[in-house]
Amino acid sequence: MGKTNEINVGLDFGFFNSRINGAIDVYRRDAKDLIMERKLPSTSGWTSIWDNIGHVRNVGVELQLNTVNVQTKDFTWETGFTFSKNHNELIELYGGKKDDVTNKWFIGEPIDVNYDYVFDGIWQTDEAEQAAVYGQKPGQVKVRDIDGNKVIDADDKQILGQRSPKWIGSITSTFRYKDFDLSVYLYTQQGAQVQDAFMSSFMTFEGNYNQLDVDYWTENNPSNEFPQPGNKGKYYDTMRYIDVSFVRVGSITLGWNIPKEWTKKIGIKNARLYFTTNNPFTFSSYKGFDPEWATQNTWGTVTGYTTYLIGTKIEF
């Protein structure tokens, strides 16, 4: 069984008759004897076991802030902010300070890192001689020779990023004017890097299915983004590590509370009309369908979607 020790310091605050209020929490959480699945050499007869791998530390901060920016007889503007940042790192593995490269666990690094060769563009025609040193050809994916020994091997792998976001946040703004109200919710995830299923399915495999206009390398188009079709080389998987940071408009709701002097004439106590849309806009450099679901493919698994809803709420 794992053990967890945590230190948490929190502060609740409010100013100007609570027109500005919120809370901040700072914590350090140490998990010892953390149970995780550990890969084993196939020669052992098992592919993996569940094991107490060691000591993991999480240090983070969480902030919540609510403000009443404008408040008059007919008009109100309120906002809500959230921010959360967490840094985790391995302190100890199997009772010592030695890295476990097979499982991509490194002392002093996050537990969910991506560890692989570094994508360095596409071999160009004028680099044919240099590419041959590595057993490669122009048009194929190039990876970085970190130690400069003219051989690509395990010593050239590096930590590329982490799969969990470095920080997340959200903003909600609510406007009310007489019987009308408007609410807009935005949220963001920043710093996550994943192996992109969209890249594998539609952009780097041999068959592109004619779905996209991909900037492939050819002799007449010396692209440094994507390899030559049918000649991608053996390191093309290094292209799959994609930053999936994004800012998304999570929802927009516009409502109208019908005046009671109108509704009471027909025996209705309260009535409201509203329009809501979920996930209408996403801002990201990600080229696939949805940065929030970048590890999912399109074969029956979940991806993001946009919805629009017009409704009414009636109370008798």
Candidate from 119-128, 173-182, 282-291 with smallest mean pLDDT: 282-291
Burial class for 136, CB neighbours closer than 10 Å (0-12, 13-18, 19+):
buried
Q: What is the pLDDT of residue 281?
A: 95
What residue ranges in the chain does DSSP mark as E strands? 3-15, 20-39, 48-71, 75-93, 113-116, 119-122, 141-143, 158-162, 167-177, 180-190, 193-195, 241-243, 246-257, 270-283, 307-315
Q: Which helix (H) or strand (E) holds 132?
A: helix 128-133
At 272-281, the pLDDT tens digits run 999 999 999 9
pLDDT greater than 90 at residue 42:
no
CA 154/CA 282 separation, integer angstroms: 38
Q: What is the CA radius of gyration of the chain?
A: 27
Question: Quick one: pLDDT band at residue 296, thresholds 50, 70, 90?
Answer: confident
At 209-253, the pLDDT tens digits run 556 778 889 999 999 999 998 899 999 889 999 999 999 999 999
Q: What is the pLDDT of residue 45?
A: 63
